[in-house]
A and B are shown apart, each in its own frame.
Chain A
Amino acid sequence: MKKIFVLLTFIIGFSAFSFTEKDSISVFTFKRIEMMEDFDCDACGCSASGGSMGFSSMLNNNFVGLRYFKQSYTSRDGIFANSPWIDENFNTIQAWARIPVTEKIQISALVPYHFHERQLTAGTQSIEGLGDITVMGLYTIYETKKDSTVFTHKVNIGGGVKIPTGQFKEINNLGTINQSFQLGTGSWDFPLVSEYVIKHKNLGLNTTLNYIFKTENSKNYQYGDQFNYAGTFFYLFDANKFQIVPQAGIAGEVYQTNIQHGLDVPNTAGDILFGKFGIEAGKDKFSIGVNAMLPISQNLSNGNMEANYRWSINLNYTL
C-alpha cells in the first residue's frame, strides 16, 4: 500500500504539473512552468502520498527523474492572409531532483535542456542548449492524517525562482509571430504554485493553480505573466507488485501581454485549454509515464499560432 501511494502521488504530481506549463506563446515560459509543475508534481506526489499515508520513511527519500517532452505548434510566418503556416517543434529533456527537508518542506530543482526547430520560409532554424533552471520550495499546509477517513485531502503551496540560465536572443524574436523561440526568458521569474489533492479509495482528483511572475530581462524584454490551472482525475490499479495509474483531465494556460522597452508587444497575450490523458506504471523503485495533451480551445497570438499537441514520457527513480 505504501508504495502504491507513493507511486500515486508521483503520478499525480507528474500528470498534474507535467504539461500545464507549456505555452505556445512562450516556450521558455513553458519550460519554466514545466519546471514548476514538475516541481509541484514531484513535491505533491512524494510528499503528499508519503505524508498523508503515514509513510514517513518515504519523505526522506530523494528522487531523480528524466522527462522528455515534445510540443508541436503551427504558426503563421508573416502578417498576411497568404503568409505560409510553418511547423515549430519544441523538444525538451529535463532532469529534476527533489530533496525533502522536513516532513512538510521540500526543495526541488529542474534543469531543462532544449532542442527546438522551426521551418521558416527562409529555411530551418534550430536552437539547442540549457534552459532556465528552476529552484523551488514547497510546503504542505494541510494533510489528512487518518487513513480511515472516506476522503483524504492534501494541500501544498510553494514558490521559487527561475534562473536565467537559458539563452535569450533578441534576433530570435525579430519578425516572427512566435516570440518564444528561445532557450530561456533571460529574466529572473518567480513561480507561485499550489496543489490540492482529494482521494477516495483508489480514485483521486488533483487540482493545481500556478502563477508565474516574470520580470524584464537585460534586453528590456519582459514576457507576460502566466497563469496555469489543471484538474486531473486518476485511478490506481494495483496488481501485486505492479501499479498502473490511468489519468485524464484538463489543463489551461493564460498568458499576459509581453512588454518590450515598457511597451506592449502586440498579439502576445493568449490562452489555451487542453484535454490531457496519460498512464503511469510503477514497479519497485522505478516508474514510467506517458502523457499527451490535445487542445480543446485556444487563442494564441491573435489566432496566428496554434498548438497541435504535446506529449511526454518520463522515467523516475526513487533513491
Chain B
Amino acid sequence: MKNILYKAFAIAALSISLISCSNDDSENISGNGKITLKFDNAFGANDLILNTQGNTTSNNEVLKISLVKYIVSNVVFTKADGSTYVYPKSKSYFIADEATAAGQQFQLSDIPAGDYTKVKFGIGVDEEQWKLGAAGQGDFLAQADDAGMMWSWAAGYKFFALEGNFTSPTVTAATPFMIHTGKTGTDYNYTEVTLDLPTKALVRTDITPAIHIITDLSKVIDGPNKIKLSDNNMGGMGAMIMGGANLPIITQNINTMFRVDHVHND
C-alpha cells in the first residue's frame, strides 16, 4: 500500500518538474507570420442580417440592408514600443463584402513576428494611389470594377457602399436607398481609422492572430452626424446619396464605425 502512496507522490513531483520546465516562454521572436483581419458587419448591437432584418435608427427610420461593401486599404500595425509595420502598398487593398465569405476576412502574410497593439487602415483608396493613374492600380482596378466599386476611372473608386430599402414616419412605403462615398469635386473622402487591440496580437511563425473588427453600420447615417434618408428621398424615387455635402459628414461617421471586439491568438 505504501508503494502506491509513494508512486502518487512521485507522479505529483514529476508533473511539477515537467511543468516548471515547460514554462520557459521567453521565446525568441523571429521570422514572419500572418494576421487575419475579420470585418464583421453589425447594426448597433445586432449582427447584420441582409435583406430581412429591419434596423431602426434614432430618427425612426427602418433600414433593410441588401448590400454592404467597402474598400479597406493601407494597413499598418503598431507594436507596444510605438514602432510600426506598414503592410506593402502593392497588396494592401481589399474589398469587404457582407455577401461573400471572401469579403469578410483578409489574411495578411509576411508580417514580422512581434506583439502588435494597434491596427490602422483606410476606408477607400488614398489620393496618392489614385493619382498614379489607371496603369498604376495593378490588379486592384479590375477587382474593384468587378465588385462594382468603381464609377469610372475619372470619377474614381467607390470607397463605401450601403444599399437597401427604408421606411420612415414620413415614407411609409419601402423605398430604395443607396449611399456611395468617394471623391467629389471638393472632397476626397478617404479616411483612416486607428484601432487599439484589446489583446495584443502575437504574430509568430506558428501563431496567426485573428483581429475581429466590428463594423457598426448604424453609424453611417446615425453616428456623430445624423442624416435622414427621408430628407434625401428626391421625388419619392429613393434616397440616393452619392455626392454633395453629405459625403464628407458620412465619411466622418464612417471613421467612427469600427472597433476591435477581440483578438484570437491561435
Contacts and interface: CB of A to CB of B under 8 A. Distances in A.
B104 interface: no
A175 to B, nearest CB: 7
Contacts of B23: 215-216
* Max chain B C-beta neighbours (<10 A), residue from A99, A136, A263: A263
Contact of B264 (A82, A160, A174, A264): A174
B11 A80 contact: no
Contacts of A209: none
Contacts of B42: 80
* Max chain B C-beta neighbours (<10 A), residue from A136, A161, A262: A161
Contacts of B45: 80-82
A79 interface: yes
B127 interface: no
B171 to A, nearest CB: 25
B1 A161 contact: no
B69 interface: no
Contacts of B262: 79, 266
A108 to B, nearest CB: 10
A284 interface: no
A225 to B, nearest CB: 14
B142 interface: no
A80 B46 contact: yes
B5 interface: yes
Interface in A69-92: 78-83
Contacts of A238: none
Interface stretch (B14-22, B74-82, B87-95, B185-193): B14-22
A178 to B, nearest CB: 15
B4 to A, nearest CB: 6
Contact of A218 (B16, B22, B25, B46): B22
B11 A175 contact: no
B5 A101 contact: yes
Nearest to B201: A263
Contacts of A216: 19, 22-23
A147 interface: no
A3 to B, nearest CB: 24
A160 B262 CA distance: 36
Nearest to B265: A261
B8 interface: yes
A105 interface: yes
B12 A190 contact: yes
B138 interface: no
Nearest to B38: A175
Given A263-B265, A266-B199, A80 B5 contact: no
Interface in A238-289: 260-266
B47 A83 contact: yes
B244 interface: no
B141 interface: no
B207 interface: yes
A120 B232 CA distance: 42
A188 B15 contact: yes
Contacts of B44: 81
A16 interface: no
5 smallest CB-CB distances across A and B, nearest first, come from A81-B45, A80-B47, A82-B46, A188-B15, A101-B1
Interface of A: 78-83, 99-102, 105, 107, 135-137, 159-161, 163, 170, 173-175, 188, 190, 215-216, 218, 220, 260-266
Interface of B: 1-2, 4-5, 8-9, 11-12, 15-16, 18-19, 22-23, 25, 40, 42, 44-47, 49, 53, 198-200, 202, 207, 212, 214, 261-262, 264-266
30 contacts: A79-B214, A79-B262, A81-B45, A82-B45, A82-B47, A82-B53, A100-B1, A101-B1, A101-B2, A107-B4, A135-B8, A136-B8, A137-B8, A160-B8, A163-B15, A170-B266, A174-B266, A190-B12, A190-B15, A215-B19, A215-B23, A216-B19, A216-B22, A218-B22, A220-B25, A260-B265, A261-B202, A261-B207, A261-B265, A263-B265
